[in-house]
Chains A and B, each alone.
Chain A
Amino acid sequence: MSKRVVIDPITRIEGHLRIEVEVDDNNVITNAWSSSTLWRGIEVILKGRTPMDVGLIVQRICGVCTYSHYRCGTEAVENALGLAIPLNAKLLRSLMQTSLYMHDHIVHFYHLHGLDWVDVVSALSADPAKAAEVALKYTDNPIAAGEGDLRAVQERVKEFVETGKLGPFANAYWGNGTYKFSPEQNLIALSHYLKALEVQRVAAEMLAIFGGKQPHPQSLVVGGVTSVRDMLSPARLQEWKQKHATVTDFIERAYQADIVMAAEAFGTENSVLGGVNVKNFLATNDFALANGEDLFSQGVIMNGDLASVSDINPELIAEDVTHAWYNADTPQHPYEGTTIPNYTGFVERDTVYGKLPTLDGDGKYSWVKSPRYKGEPVEVGPLSCLLVNYARGNQVVVDAVNGLLARTGLPVEALFTTLGRTAARMLQTVIVAKEGLRTFDSLLTNIVTDESTYVQPHIDPSKEYVGHAMIEAPRGMLSHWVRIKNGVIENYQAVVPTTWNAGPKDANGKIGPYEASLIGLKLEDPTKPLEVIRIIHSFDPCMACSVHVMDFKGQELSEFRVSPNGQ
């Protein structure tokens, strides 16, 4: 008999995510539902405001990849106005993007995803001397993994545990059989968890140098960048480079080493060998290295066929809301979409935890829409970016991917797994950190003869403008779509990475990457679904990003029909 498992909140993510799965008698998942349980309405709020304020408002969609929305919104308006910004502004934006990736991916791996791989309780029984030797297996020069470091970390955490109050580590799935690190490996990773807390502060400072602050930087404007004094200050530039070196050091000596260690330990663990079941991938151009040169290229891969990559056609994107808490008859292109909320609530049923309100999988069950490319669900994210560029023969990416495969002894197929998704994020960080210096050098060369950072935009109120921008956010391809009329926002739409990945099933019954990734997964203990959390975290969910709404001409707010609790 099938059993229902409810997981809400999915913690260690941005936002509010609920996952439900159905398991058979062997605890194998036969059905899965993904739902965001918060709606904020930011795009309704954008309507009627000046396009100059778009970037500042849309970055509040997300406080994690805050800079991504800031930049994408600003560039959508620039695209609509036909504005070409100065090279310096482009390069500064790219440096900030580099800083964001170096920050965001570290925080994701260690503080959000890390405890799915690392058993903290097991680390307490490790032998620090032995662990220090183990660390040398994965890098010649480990960071925060000498015997003294490891002993200090272990004692600190032990003392903490002995108080009987585990705080943030309480009541987790410690001891689950799908944790595969040895006590020594767990201790190394735990030490890096703490070290990463320090390093991510430095990475955040990198963005703040040209962004004013992080999160929610404040130096992009339609037409360019405002931090011209920081750009012209040799001290500021060097400050960036110094911090870049510190963070890169951690990325290479800890993050990279830990992924190699995880590949070895989890390389035969069934629950991480699946998890990439929608084999369509989408990625876009990003990371300006110099004038007209980008680090990553755009492309679409369908059915896992790396031999044929095609160019993105923005016309082929549409959003379906059959199973989302909105009303619309057909899938809609972002420029023409409507959003009429229609909340239908939960349905009571038996679960492994007793009777609970649950998602109505046959009806509507999420605030996330379902974007489709040519009618097909698509995965976006670092794995998609690397696959598209690997397939296109982007040498930097080919070398990085082949290098990792050689070191771990894993075949190319290992990329199409939960482990592969997590490893791709690390590889992308390594590439971005290293190549980011080319952007830095381009900027140094350019400012000798050109100090411009801004061109003033002009909006003709009698004209109508339409535009969009596509960038690679840390979670994958992000696109913003804008229509400007009478000098103000007529409508606005963001199709974000987590929407692509987390959307509910569509009118044709096709399920998205989150749901598909869980089907067929066997759970050790359905009441403690660590494997589910691990797979979902490998996507780096960001729910606030994914829930958005566009208001459209003539739509009255009073049309919202909401019936709480499924009445």
Chain B
Amino acid sequence: MDTHSALYEQGKARLAALRQLAPRQQVPLVDKLLQHGITRRDFMKWSAMVSATLALPLPFSQLVAEAAEVADRVPLIWLHMAECTGCSESLVRADTPNLDSLIFDHVSLEYHETLMAAAGWQAEENLEHALETYKGRYLLAVEGAIPTANNGSFLTVGCKGRTGLATVKEAAAGAAAIISVGTCASFGGVQAAYPNPTGAKGVHEVVDKPVINLGGCPPSEKNIVGTLMYFIMFGKLPALDMYNRPKWAYGARVHDNCERRGRFDSGEFVETFGDQGAKDGYCLYKVGCKGPYTYNNCPTERFNHHTSWPVLAGHGCMGCSEPNFWDNMADFEAPLGRQLLHGLDSTADTVGAVILGATVVGIGAHAVASIFAKPLEE
């Protein structure tokens, strides 16, 4: 019951916060229900039923009722910087919740250049209005890296010709939470690869507030909406790893949950794309898979409504959720070998080094074993 009362308190606090967030509906929900012939008593019965469905004790029905009455829509401002719009495209693919319920039921999408109806001067007005009206309360999502060379003038947005750098700094100052969507916003991404001609940087390098980094090029639609949902449901930030990525999504290596892990352990490797091993689903390490060095939930969540992920499609992981992977993980179709990257969190540095070392030793042993396992005529 202790857990329940803690949860109850948390729920109450969250509802109080939500009441601050969004204006109430013009007609209170109860009145609206009455108009449809639903009484207060019916409504409370419905709330009790929902609580039971959620396996929560009866007192929670009060919370459920309140939650339904609050206009539960968090203001969301989404900015585009130096990017390819792949992350927005990924967001559009989201299925739980899908984009329309995200927009209609969960967030108030105040600004998103790819989706909003307004344009030009009127779009800029929307942004200025949202930054002012919801100051300190909005969720800020940034897609794309921030060009910083030459005072940021490699990117300007809006009729007033402001640099992306200036806009992100201003928007970050008033944000309740900041999410860097994708590897570009998180770590600079492809435009920050050597020699980084525009001085592209991740958001956290240009603002002085905590930023949640969603590595991935693009991050899966699950990781984007999952992170938004976490904030909307719990009103706080999730537990993060040393690169500020949510642990619920980036807590395990791709290699740990890979469907081809058994092949790796048995020393069965694809030697060239399209060989018999490729047809049989052997491990892709020798053709460049960076799964052992990459933290993400791709093997379990996959992409596009669980349809596939690169390793299932026969191509190795390219390490796209890691900082500087364009430089550190290339060539993408050759094994990285015994090259130690960064540890994942400070306490696990040593452990990480040992594990990665062991992995490579393991791979060496497997490689030797697989040479001996080849038929004599080869």
Contacts and interface: CB of A to CB of B under 8 A. Distances in A.
Q: How large is the interface on A (under 10, 10 to 19, 20 to 34, 35 or more residues)?
A: 35 or more
Interface string A5-31: 011111111111000000000000000
B248 interface: no
Nearest to A115: B117
B330 A16 contact: no
Contact of A357 (B84, B160, B197): B160
Interface stretch (A52-60, A266-274, A294-302): A52-60
A219 B287 CA distance: 12
Given A228-B278, A357-B160, A453-B273, A210 B313 contact: yes
B300 interface: no
B37 to A, nearest CB: 16
Interface in A163-177: 163-165, 167-173
A63 B82 contact: no
B23 A164 contact: yes
A507 interface: no
B161 interface: yes
Contacts of B15: none
Contacts of A229: 278-279, 281, 312, 314
A169 B315 CA distance: 40
A357 B158 CA distance: 10
Q: Which of B160, B189, B308, B311 has the most CB of A within 10 A?
A: B308
A246 to B, nearest CB: 13
Q: Which of B84, B190, B318 has the most CB of A within 10 A?
A: B84
A355 to B, nearest CB: 10
B324 interface: no
A562 B308 contact: no
Nearest to A236: B308
Nearest to B194: A45
A310 B197 CA distance: 40
A15 B88 CA distance: 11
B191 A208 contact: no
Interface stretch (B100-108, B235-243, B352-360): B100-108
B85 A62 contact: yes
B115 A343 contact: no
B114 A213 contact: no
A224 B291 CA distance: 22
B117 A44 contact: no
A212 B218 CA distance: 13
Contacts of A62: 84-86
Contacts of A172: 116-119, 122
A197 B98 contact: yes
A204 B315 contact: no
Interface in A120-140: 120
A205 B158 contact: no
B274 A45 contact: no
B119 A45 contact: no
Nearest to B111: A168
Interface stretch (A33-41, A285-293, A394-402, A407-415): A33-41
A224 B161 contact: no
Contacts of B103: 167-168
What are the 5 A-B residue pairs with the smallest beta carbon separation, nearest first?
Answer: A63-B86, A454-B274, A212-B313, A226-B314, A172-B117
A498 B116 CA distance: 21
Interface string B190-224: 11011111101000000000000000011010000
Contacts of A210: 313
A37 B155 contact: yes
Contacts of B372: none
Contact of B151 (A52, A213, A456, A564): A564
A350 interface: no
Interface stretch (B89-97, B172-180, B362-370): B89-97
A327 interface: no
A192 to B, nearest CB: 13
Interface in A149-174: 156, 160, 162-165, 167-173
25 contacts: A8-B158, A16-B157, A53-B332, A60-B86, A60-B189, A163-B25, A165-B108, A167-B109, A167-B110, A172-B117, A197-B92, A200-B92, A212-B308, A212-B312, A213-B308, A214-B304, A216-B218, A224-B273, A226-B278, A226-B315, A227-B315, A228-B274, A346-B156, A544-B85, A565-B153
B121 to A, nearest CB: 5
B80 interface: yes
B158 A9 contact: yes
A42 B190 contact: yes
A528 interface: yes
B154 A215 contact: no
Contacts, number: 319
Nearest to A345: B153
A57 B110 CA distance: 32
Interface of A: 6-16, 37-42, 44-45, 49-50, 52-53, 56-57, 60-64, 66, 107, 111-112, 115, 120, 156, 160, 162-165, 167-173, 194, 197-198, 200-201, 204-205, 208-219, 221, 223-224, 226-230, 232, 343, 345-346, 351, 353, 356-357, 451-454, 456, 527-529, 533, 544, 549, 557, 560, 562-565
A213 B318 contact: no
A63 B89 contact: yes
Contacts of A564: 150-153, 163
Contacts of B25: 162-163
B120 interface: yes
A7 B310 contact: no
Interface string B114-133: 11111111111110000000
B310 A219 contact: yes
Contact of B326 (A37, A57, A451): A57
B141 interface: no
A520 B158 CA distance: 25
Contacts of B315: 212, 218-219, 221, 226-227
B123 to A, nearest CB: 5
B218 A215 contact: yes
B273 A209 contact: no
Given A162-B27, A172-B117, A224-B274, A353 B191 contact: no
A300 B281 CA distance: 45
Contacts of A15: 80, 85
Nearest to A564: B153
Nearest to B82: A40
A92 B53 CA distance: 46
A45 B191 contact: yes
Q: Which of B107, B147, B151, B197 has the most CB of A within 10 A?
A: B197
Contacts of B126: 170-171
A452 B112 CA distance: 44
B26 interface: yes
B330 A50 contact: yes
B150 A11 contact: no
B326 A221 contact: no
B318 A168 contact: no
B35 interface: no
A45 B313 contact: no
Given A163-B26, A168-B112, A232-B279, A212 B117 contact: no
B197 A41 contact: yes
A208 B93 CA distance: 12
Contacts of B104: 156, 160
A535 to B, nearest CB: 12
Given A60-B217, A213-B304, A214-B304, A219 B274 contact: no
B157 A9 contact: yes
B121 A562 contact: no
B233 interface: no
Nearest to A239: B307
Given A62-B84, A214-B303, A12 B116 contact: yes
B99 interface: yes
Contacts of A560: 197
B273 A13 contact: no
B272 interface: yes
Given A11-B113, A40-B190, A63-B86, 10 more contacts: A6-B120, A37-B155, A38-B147, A60-B190, A62-B86, A162-B25, A165-B22, A167-B109, A168-B117, A197-B92
